């Protein structure tokens, strides 16, 4: 069935047994990245067919807790989010920026090519679309230009999946980033399960999406199909287990610089940096320079975290020597100074930092705790001390 030229793109229904044709059509032109089960979790990886999707799995999540369980059905997207975000493919954990080689008594320096695969991302949730949009602002907005990010981001074909059931740590509804994706995709799937036949409502968000759908067996969706899809995401919103009241958060955080609550969090925080690694928007990096005795050198950018001591090292030592000051930096940046820098909060409510924190530290609990923490005495001298050089 073809969409009429020039017409708005009407939604369609694709049967479960025809979803493989959609993945194959994506694979004909793209490197398809999607969810799959590996090592007891759902990870994002290259997908070579619909069989690679996590059929019949769901994820159980809470603060500091994640496990996969079998579902009673064969839902393909019956889980929410694994530890890996799409950042992994757009803003690489490790990217060599240039190589140098000693030649004829001088150094020949060559920038690394930014060439990247033509990606299709299959299964992007609404909060993740918001996360990509935040990264776009950070890495490409307002005079900033990261050529490696740009090369990987440009032309990504996005197949979103609408959330019909929230994860245990989700709070996208209060961040205004979900659970329903309203744009930013080429195609968006809503999975229909029993008592309805197993099929997918497909919303079309771009001419490229319409063109791809034309290569997949489908039929026209009826208004009741659209209503059913809306009800499913509304149900996910109502069932969302966490919320974050963002009203006045920026001013509140700026007014609590010396609050004793930071020290109470620091007593639990291990400064492991998990929260920043799993976050779809954390973008901090450092560089590593390697040389060898043959006269070669390379300059590599790698992810870093504001929870590490070396991250704030300047001159005589690290300016954020205590864990309290590092947690304060992370949370205040996410929910206050990020908005000053980029015009949007740095949090999209995906809940990963809560799930993957080994101490179960939960920003949706810390913000209310900070709001009521009236005592503004300096908790500990080291929230502002400089680490002594060893």
Applying CB under 6 A, the residues found at the interface with ligand SF4 are 269-275, 278-281, 307, 334, 347-353, 357-359, 361
Task: Give the Cα separation of 349 and 240 in Å (integer).
Answer: 11
Residue 270 or 369 having the CB closest to ligand SF4: 270
Q: What are phi and psi of 204, to 5 degrees?
A: -110, 125
Structure tokens at 313: 């090292």
Query: How is residue 67 written in tokens?
Result: 């496990």
Q: Where are the alpha helices (DSSP H) in 190-304?
A: 207-213, 223-238, 249-254, 261-268, 274-278
**71: nearest Cα among 83, 63, 62, 80:** 80
Least Å distance between CB 179 and ligand SF4? Answer: 14
Helix (H), strand (E) at residue 149: helix 147-153
Q: Which residues contact 194 (CB under 8 A, 6 or more apart)?
A: 73
Provide the minimum distance between the beta carbon of 345 and ligand SF4 in the complex, in angstroms, as a whole number: 8
Smallest CA-to-CA distance from 122 within 7, 193, 25 is with 25
The least CB distance from residue 320 to ligand SF4, in Å, is 12
**Cβ proximity to ligand SF4, 11 vs 346, nearer residue:** 346
Nearer to ligand SF4, 97 or 246 (CB): 246
Find, among 338, 371, 353, 359, the residue nearest to 127 by Cα. Answer: 353
**Residue placing its CB nearer to ligand SF4 in the complex, 23 or 357:** 357
Judged by CB, which is closer to ligand SF4: 213, or 353? Answer: 353
Closest distance of CB 80 from ligand SF4, Å: 12
Compare residues 13 and 321 and give the one whose CB is closer to ligand SF4.
321
- Measured from the CB of residue 100, what is the shortest distance to ligand SF4 in angstroms? 35
CA angle 192, 193, 194 (to 5 degrees): 135
- Shortest distance, position 383 Cβ to ligand SF4, whole Å: 16
The Cα–Cα gap between 84 and 278 comes to: 6
Pick the closer one to ligand SF4 by CB: 152 or 334: 334
* The two structure tokens encoding residue 142: 């307002």
Q: How far is the CB of 78 from ligand SF4 (least distance, A)?
A: 21
């Amino acid at each position: 069935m073809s969409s009429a030229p020039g017409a708005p793109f009407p939604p369609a229904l694709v049967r479960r047994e025809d979803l493989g044709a959609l993945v194959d059509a994506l694979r004909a032109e793209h490197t398809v990245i999607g969810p799959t089960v590996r090592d007891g979790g759902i990870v994002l990886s290259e997908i070579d067919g619909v069989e690679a999707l996590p059929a019949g799995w769901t994820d159980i999540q809470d603060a500091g807790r994640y496990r996969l369980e079998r579902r009673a059905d064969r839902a393909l997207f019956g889980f929410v989010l694994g530890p890996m975000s799409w950042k992994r493919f757009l803003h690489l954990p490790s990217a060599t920026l240039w190589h140098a080689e000693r030649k004829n008594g001088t150094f020949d320096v060559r920038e690394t090519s930014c060439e990247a695969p033509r990606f299709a991302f299959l299964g992007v949730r609404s909060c993740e679309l918001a996360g990509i949009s935040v990264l776009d602002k950070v890495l490409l907005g307002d005079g900033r230009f990261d050529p490696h990010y740009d090369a990987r981001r440009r032309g990504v074909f996005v197949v979103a999946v609408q959330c019909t059931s929230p994860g245990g740590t989700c709070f996208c509804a209060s961040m205004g980033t979900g659970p329903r994706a309203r744009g930013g995709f080429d195609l968006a799937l809503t999975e229909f399960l029993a008592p309805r036949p197993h099929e997918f409502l497909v919303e079309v968000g771009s001419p490229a999406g319409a063109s791809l759908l034309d290569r997949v067996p489908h039929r026209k969706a009826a208004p009741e199909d659209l209503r059913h899809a809306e009800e499913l995401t509304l149900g996910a919103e109502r069932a969302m287990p966490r919320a974050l009241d963002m009203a006045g958060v920026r001013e509140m955080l700026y007014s609590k610089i010396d609050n004793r609550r930071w020290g109470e969090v620091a007593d639990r925080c291990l400064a492991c940096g998990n929260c920043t690694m799993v976050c779809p928007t954390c973008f901090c990096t450092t560089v590593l320079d390697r040389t060898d005795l043959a006269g070669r050198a390379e300059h590599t950018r790698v992810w870093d975290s504001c929870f590490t001591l070396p991250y704030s090292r300047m001159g005589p030592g690290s300016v954020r020597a205590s864990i309290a000051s590092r947690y304060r930096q992370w949370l205040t940046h996410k929910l206050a100074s990020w908005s000053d820098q980029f015009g949007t909060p740095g949090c999209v409510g995906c809940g990963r930092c809560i799930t993957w924190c080994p101490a179960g530290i939960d920003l949706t609990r810390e913000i209310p705790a900070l709001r009521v923490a009236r005592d503004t005495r300096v908790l500990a001298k080291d929230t502002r001390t400089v680490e002594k050089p060893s």
